[in-house]
Chains A and B, each alone.
With several copies, the nearest count.
Chain A
Amino acid sequence: MELGKAEAAIEAILFAMGDSVELERIAKAIEQDAETTRKIIYHMMEGYRTDRRGIQITELDGSFQLCTKSELYEYLIRVAKQPKKLVLTDVVLETLSIIAYKQPITKLEIEKIRGVKSDHAVNRLVEYNLVRELGRLDAPGRPLLFGTTEEFLRHFGLHSLEDLPMINPVQLEDFKAEAEEEIQTKLEV
């Protein structure tokens, strides 16, 4: 299969599917191995970068999906309905950040960290499709385990969980340093 034809096929597949499509499925459809397919897609991503293109390919945890470029948003809202913006309250965001970093995690563990019941927040997150049940923990009561969804990655513009903003060690160190300094000052007084 010629490269141009492969690119055309992949564009058609991503366009028609709308949703994200796993690398393996694309590879099978164009009858190439996964690595070659990945290279082709990365090459295509370069091509979409030109100013003349209004769409791009985004990678989500080993899957690929077409979407519009964010800088064209202003033109889109003139024709398309503005997508409903999900407003996440502090409570919900806090719960989400715990799930994102600690997944798979049970409600009880979330509650331990937050110090308050978190049922409501977890249910909201499942409803928004940002969080899903991953299975059950093999422990008494077989509690449900929760983790984030692909929609979560999309919503926060992440390509995989590894893209999660890291807890900045410098910042945490800063907290510590500050604390120590204060103690020092007090001792000297």
Chain B
Amino acid sequence: MGIPVKLQAFEGPLDLLLHLIEKNKVNIYDIPIVEITDQYMEYLHEMETEDLDVMSEFLVMAATLLDIKSRMLLPPEVDEKGEEVDPRDELVQKLLEYKMYKYMSYELRDRQDGAAFHYYKQPTIPDEVKEYRPPVNIEELLGDLTLSRLHTIFRDIMRRQENRYDPIRSKFGSLKREEIDLSGTMRFVQQYISGKKTCMFREILVLRSGKLYKIVTFLTLLELMKEGKVAVEQEETFADIRIDWTGTDDGVSEEEFAQDYA
């Protein structure tokens, strides 16, 4: 199903979220997280951006939404005062703040239109006045600057420079941008799971490198759970996740998989 809105029109994940909230005419303080997350994911799928920086920002928000969504299913957390914590609170605060500045930017735009009709004048100071430079009183200027202070300043700069210098990355020679093909990666993860029938989450993570790959892998897993194609099990928090393929369509066999991705 196509979405008739140009995705590039959104300046970022918050902008897109605000749009969805307004479009659905829902209350920002009581976001129906399931619907909004679904719609958000739908937009994400439609997104055809080559810009990885932009994409990763949208993906981070997707992960946040999914996290909130899952926390909404759990029994409510309670803060130190014994009050229930709404998992949506932090997001709501962010959205409100963002919305406020967006609103202020419209105010500024209006102001600008009113202020544009003044002309100013170039300086017409006579040259001899313009070129006059008062003599610099060096003693006064340097004041109580001592050699040891100058020395300390230099030492601090060198220390900062060393801190900036990253001995590990600098050995790489040149840094490559992380390249990731979103739909390809999702297919890859799905094929891997369906091929193995049963596997561990960490096992998939080490197949490829990069933060984006990890995010996409996690998203894919959530997606497969939603579609009922996998069943997952985790014994305790932070433990590895066991994934069982329960999908009906035939997965790719291990041999084929090995051929494809050798």
Determine direct contact between A and B, CB below 8 Å: yes
Interface residues of A (CB under 8 A from B): 12, 15-19, 58, 65-71, 73, 76-77, 80-88, 90-91, 93-94, 96-98, 100-101, 113-117, 127-130, 141-142, 151, 154-158, 164-165, 167, 171-172, 175-176, 178-180, 182-183, 186-187
Listed from nearest, the 3 A-B pairs whose CB atoms lie closest are A157-B115, A116-B12, A18-B123
Interface residues of B (CB under 8 A from A): 11-15, 27-30, 53-54, 57, 61, 94, 96-98, 100-105, 107-109, 111-112, 114-126, 129-130, 132-134, 136-143, 145-148, 150-151, 153-155, 157-168
- Residue of B whose beta carbon sits closest to that of A119: B53
In the complex, chain B residues whose CB is within 8 Å of the CB of A101: 101, 104, 154
- Choose one: A114, A165, A175; the contact of B162 (CB below 8 Å): A175
* Residue among A58, A97, A130 with max Cβ neighbours from chain B (10 Å): A97
Nearest CB of chain A from residue B25's CB, rounded to whole Å: 9
Residues B155 and A171 in contact, CB atoms below 8 Å apart: yes
Residues B119 and A83 in contact, CB atoms below 8 Å apart: yes
In the complex, chain A residues whose CB is within 8 Å of the CB of B150: 93, 96-97, 100, 156
Query: How far is B140's CA from A171's CA once the two chains are assembled, in angstroms?
Result: 33
Residues A94 and B147 in contact, CB atoms below 8 Å apart: no
Query: How far is B154's CA from A101's CA once the two chains are assembled, in angstroms?
Result: 8
- Residue of A whose beta carbon sits closest to that of B136: A128
- Residue of A whose beta carbon sits closest to that of B51: A117
Query: How far is B137's CA from A130's CA once the two chains are assembled, in angstroms?
Result: 12
In the complex, chain B residues whose CB is within 8 Å of the CB of A113: 94, 97-98, 101, 157-158, 161
Known A97-B107, A142-B160, A179-B166; further 13 A-B contacts with Cβ < 8 A: A85-B116, A86-B141, A88-B142, A97-B102, A114-B157, A115-B14, A116-B14, A117-B53, A154-B118, A156-B146, A156-B150, A167-B151, A171-B103
6 A-B pairs with CB atoms under 8 Å apart are A87-B141, A91-B11, A97-B153, A156-B150, A158-B147, A183-B166
In the complex, chain A residues whose CB is within 8 Å of the CB of B101: 94, 97-98, 101, 113-114
- Choose one: A19, A114, A179; the contact of B165 (CB below 8 Å): A179
Known contacts A17-B123, A18-B123, A165-B148: A94-B163 contact under CB 8 Å = no
In the complex, chain B residues whose CB is within 8 Å of the CB of A182: 27, 30, 163
Known contacts A88-B142, A165-B148: A175-B53 contact under CB 8 Å = no
Query: How far is B97's CA from A120's CA once the two chains are assembled, in angstroms?
Result: 21
Query: How far is B13's CA from A94's CA once the two chains are assembled, in angstroms?
Result: 14
Query: How far is B156's CA from A98's CA once the two chains are assembled, in angstroms?
Result: 11
Residues A100 and B162 in contact, CB atoms below 8 Å apart: no
Query: How far is B151's CA from A164's CA once the two chains are assembled, in angstroms?
Result: 8
- Residue of A whose beta carbon sits closest to that of B150: A97
In the complex, chain A residues whose CB is within 8 Å of the CB of B12: 114-116
Nearest CB of chain A from residue B133's CB, rounded to whole Å: 8
Query: How far is B93's CA from A113's CA once the two chains are assembled, in angstroms?
Result: 10
Residues A15 and B118 in contact, CB atoms below 8 Å apart: no
- Residue of B whose beta carbon sits closest to that of A157: B115
In the complex, chain A residues whose CB is within 8 Å of the CB of B159: 175
Residues B108 and A156 in contact, CB atoms below 8 Å apart: yes
Known contacts A98-B154, A180-B167: A127-B136 contact under CB 8 Å = yes
- Choose one: A18, A158, A183; the contact of B29 (CB below 8 Å): A183
Query: How far is B150's CA from A158's CA once the two chains are assembled, in angstroms?
Result: 13
In the complex, chain B residues whose CB is within 8 Å of the CB of A179: 27-30, 162-163, 165-167
- Residue of B whose beta carbon sits closest to that of A172: B158
Residues A96 and B105 in contact, CB atoms below 8 Å apart: yes
In the complex, chain A residues whose CB is within 8 Å of the CB of B98: 113-115
* Residue among B27, B54, B119, B123 with max Cβ neighbours from chain A (10 Å): B119
In the complex, chain A residues whose CB is within 8 Å of the CB of B148: 165
Residues B147 and A165 in contact, CB atoms below 8 Å apart: yes
In the complex, chain A residues whose CB is within 8 Å of the CB of B120: 18, 65-67, 154
Query: How far is B111's CA from A184's CA once the two chains are assembled, in angstroms?
Result: 37
- Choose one: A16, A70, A155; the contact of B138 (CB below 8 Å): A155
